Amino acid sequence: MDKPYFLQLFDPQLENPILIEGLAGLGNIGMIAARHLIESTEAKVFAELYAPYFPDYVMVKKDGTCRPPRYQFYVAKTQKNHYIILTGDAQPSMEDTTAHYDLCDEILDFAEKYGSRFIVTIGAIVTSNPSNEVYIAATSQKLAQKHLNKETLVYTEGKIIGATGLLLGLAKRRGWKGICLLGATTGFGAERGVGLSVFNVLTEIIEPGTKKEVEEKT
């Protein structure tokens, strides 16, 4: 294996699915928010992505069984939208920029096959006094403004590192639309509370009016 490859479990029929990314990363906020979405929409895994860019170890579970690092693609259909939800337990090394670019383009190619043209990426930024605020960046100024409310702020003049930033940037270059949600964290440990806050903002954006139901569920 010297290139990423997909293990397809089944082949869902989708209409303009929104691609939602929540990978392992700072405070695992993206992963936590994606997990909430997977549970609340009863999403099912339909594909796995393996890559030589992932760490060279296997992860062993409680029962002694093992598997290599991977990304997983979940599919969900609600009354409002179809979703492809991407989550995973590792990212390539920070130094290996080609790995990041290659993986992101493979992911966008894959989602494009199912008709995706809109992406939401989820990550984190470190601030000294986080108070559950969520920062928004987007492929256009209009989109960045559209979802502003008392819980959200526009993220301005910075960098968004890793898949959370690069997926959005490369999607934009392909003509997709999309937004990025960044939970504020001190940068220490996994942040379940921040992950939930970002999930709630996400829900208001992609499933407006269903927030209450989702909170009861999780």
Task: Give the interface with a copy of itself as residue ranges (CB under 8 A).
Answer: 1-2, 7, 50-68, 92-102, 104-105, 136-141, 144-145, 154-162, 165-166, 168-170, 172-173, 180
Question: In this structure, are residues 167 and 108 in contact, taking their beta carbons and an 8 Å threshold?
Answer: yes
Question: In this structure, are residues 126 and 29 in contact, taking their beta carbons and an 8 Å threshold?
Answer: no
Q: How far is the CB of 133 from a copy of itself (least distance, A)?
A: 14
Q: How far is the CB of 210 from a copy of itself (least distance, A)?
A: 25
Q: Could you count the other beta carbons within 10 Å of the beta carbon of residue 123?
A: 30
Q: How far is the CB of 178 from a copy of itself (least distance, A)?
A: 9
Q: How far is the CB of 160 from a copy of itself (least distance, A)?
A: 5
Instruction: Report the residue number, 180 or 214, with the smaller CB distance to a copy of itself.
Output: 180
Q: Which residue has the tokens 């179809």?
A: 82
Instruction: Report the residue number, 54 or 74, with the smaller CB distance to a copy of itself.
Output: 54
Rg (CA), the chain: 16
Instruction: Report the residue number, 43 or 170, with the smaller CB distance to a copy of itself.
Output: 170
Instruction: Report the residue number, 69 or 76, with the smaller CB distance to a copy of itself.
Output: 69
How far apart CA 165 and CA 179 sit, in angstroms, is 10
Q: How far is the CB of 7 from a copy of itself (least distance, A)?
A: 7
Q: Could you count the other beta carbons within 10 Å of the beta carbon of residue 88?
A: 24
In the three-class reduction of DSSP (H, G, I as helix; E, B as strand; rest coil), residue 94 is classed as coil
Instruction: Report the residue number, 112 or 215, with the smaller CB distance to a copy of itself.
Output: 112
How far apart CA 204 and CA 165 sit, in angstroms, is 21
Instruction: Tokens for 39, please give them.
Output: 């549970």
Instruction: Report the residue number, 163 or 214, with the smaller CB distance to a copy of itself.
Output: 163
Q: How far is the CB of 56 from a copy of itself (least distance, A)?
A: 4
How far apart CA 135 and CA 179 sit, in angstroms, is 10
